[in-house]
Amino acid sequence: GESVGLHLPTLSVQEGDNSIINCAYSNSASDYFIWYKQESGKGPQFIIDIRSNMDKRQGQRVTVLLNKTVKHLSLQIAATQPGDSAVYFCAENINTDKLIFGTGTRLQVFP
């Protein structure tokens, strides 16, 4: 498969630890945010989303936190597993007609 994001920021964690991936967004008018996971050679897969009227949302082993004051979004993965190794993208929606993707963070999980 292809390798995308050859020079991405990388987060290395040990299996079983918690991971925190951060994202700074650009537009204070953004009202919807979404995290995608992209494994090597595959298309992005939806993880979790959050609207601007919330500051926290939980899924299965994942939590997204939104801090509108500093325009910061984070994805927390509990008990990180080798299958979590991938590139993670945040995206922001502006006025429902545009979805702007960040450049991504590579997560590497070591045994």
- C-alpha Rg value of the chain to the nearest Å: 14
Cα–chain center distance at 18: 14
Tell me which residues in 19-58 interact with other proteins (CB under 8 A): 32, 34, 41-46, 49
Interface with other proteins includes 91 (CB under 8 A)?
yes
Burial of 67 (0-12, 13-18, 19+ CB in 10 A): exposed
Query: Do 41 and 2 contact (CB within 8 A), yes or no?
Result: yes
Report the nearest approach of other proteins to the CB of residue 17 (Å). Answer: 26
Q: Is 93 in the site for other proteins (CB under 8 A)?
A: yes
Interface stretch with other proteins, choices 6-14, 54-62, 64-72, 78-86 (CB under 8 A): 6-14
Q: Which residues bind other proteins (CB under 8 A)?
A: 2-8, 32, 34, 41-46, 49, 89, 91, 93, 96-104
